Structure 1
Amino acid sequence: MRTFLFLLLTGSLLTAVSPASAQEKTAVRVRPIGAVDYGTGAQFLFRNGEVVLHQDNNYQPLTKNIRLANGTKINYKSGIVELPSGKLTTLHEGDYVNSAGSIVFATPSSAAAARHDTIGANAARFEQYVERGKIVPLSDLQAQLNRQSQQLKLMEQKVRLLNQKIDLLSRQSTPPDTRQLDQQLRELDQQLQQLAK
């Protein structure tokens, strides 16, 4: 009788659904009919008056309209893009749509035209944007690396001292004298603060 009750209880526990798992719902993302996944590096580039697939430094002419997984539609002949919200925009030379459905404009005037901002498209003067990183002299870089190396060594010493203190405190029933360790920790903290300045 005991084994029967044990088996019955075990079986009911195994087949029961926990309240947490019963409430879990996974969001199911439905792919639009006809949508094709081109991978993350695909770009639908407007080039020479039509949309081409640019992927892995290769350009392939398209023979049909494109529908992306997020619902974005691209007309391969005219460059008209319909976003999932229903908004229409036209690609200009150099503009492209990435595989996620985001439009990347080649020029500020192209972006202004997509916003139907004719004043901004014609009147604005833009310079070529070139991203320049901060140039750090090699001597400054070396000094910064040395300072970080010293900080790392001091932090390693601090971890060792803290581990010693924990070991002392956990081994003895009466509180041990940790003044020497505490003093060493204070000195390390001061050195770390000086390096941080």
Structure 2
Amino acid sequence: MKRFFPTLLLSFTLLAPLAAAAQAKTTPQTRQTVSANAQYVMQNGTVVLRQGNQNTGLTQNIRLANGTKINYKSGIVELPGGKMTTLREGDYVTAKGDIVFATPGSAAAARGEKAPADAQFDRYVEKGAAISPETFDARLTTLNTRLDLMAQKIQLLNQKISLLSVNAQRPTDTAQLDQQIQALEEQIRNIK
């Protein structure tokens, strides 16, 4: 027992410099919190932070909120599940940790495949992207029409309630109001 403690102490003394050297070689990782539209883009051989039209060079590796790790020098991305891929020029990682490939070749390389020479991507649209003014106007017109018809229906229903409550002893004929309400319901259903 007396020999055990000096040997243990000697082992720690000899191994301490090795542990310190190993720690010195690891690159620190920063848990990065940025705007929701931020992107970590591979540009000219390194990863830069792009927020809007502004690019900012990185000085250390990044760890996103979802656990995705990005090596800013090599472009190696490690996903939370342990899968790794390397970004190519123009590829980027979103603030949520999604990878967007710039070319079919880089997407194929990430899968371990070779892309055909004539491969092309469909246009990529991020969620929440703006719609065209024409589409917006068409949707707004449809919504306004639907709201107008519903307001008319409410008005007719209020008239019917009023007639039925005033003449509670004597039955009131509401057939004409019922037809109008039914016609409005049909118009509302047919709006696309």
Give yes or no for the alignment of 1:47 onto 2:47: no
CA contact (8 A) 2:30 2:60 kept: no
CA contact (8 A) 1:45 1:54 kept: yes
The one-letter code of the counterpart of 1:78 is: S
The one-letter code of the counterpart of 2:35 is: G
Shift of 1:173: 4.0
Shift of 1:152: 5.4
Give yes or no for the alignment of 1:157 onto 2:155: no
C-alpha distance in structure 2 between counterparts of 1:151 and 1:76, whole Å: 52
Matched residue, 2:119 = 126
Shift of 1:39: 2.1
Q: Map of 1:1-197 to 2, 5 A cutoff?
A: 34-118=30-114, 121=115, 123=116, 125-127=118-120, 129=122, 153-174=148-169, 176-179=171-174, 182-187=175-180, 189-190=182-183, 193=186, 196=190
- TM-score with structure 1 setting the length: 0.62
| CA RMSD across the alignment | 3.2
Kindly provide the CA deviation profile for residues 72-118 of structure 1, in whole angstroms up to 9, marking residues without a partner as x.
Answer: 11001100000010000000110001111111111122111111122
The one-letter code of the counterpart of 2:178 is: L
Q: State the aligned residue count.
A: 150
C-alpha distance in structure 2 between counterparts of 1:150 and 1:79, whole Å: 52
Contiguous gaps of at least 5 residues in structure 2: 1-28, 125-130
Contiguous gaps of at least 5 residues in structure 1: 1-32
- TM-score with structure 2 setting the length: 0.64
Shift of 1:172: 4.7
Shift of 1:159: 1.9
C-alpha distance in structure 2 between counterparts of 1:105 and 1:51, whole Å: 14
Shift of 1:41: 2.1
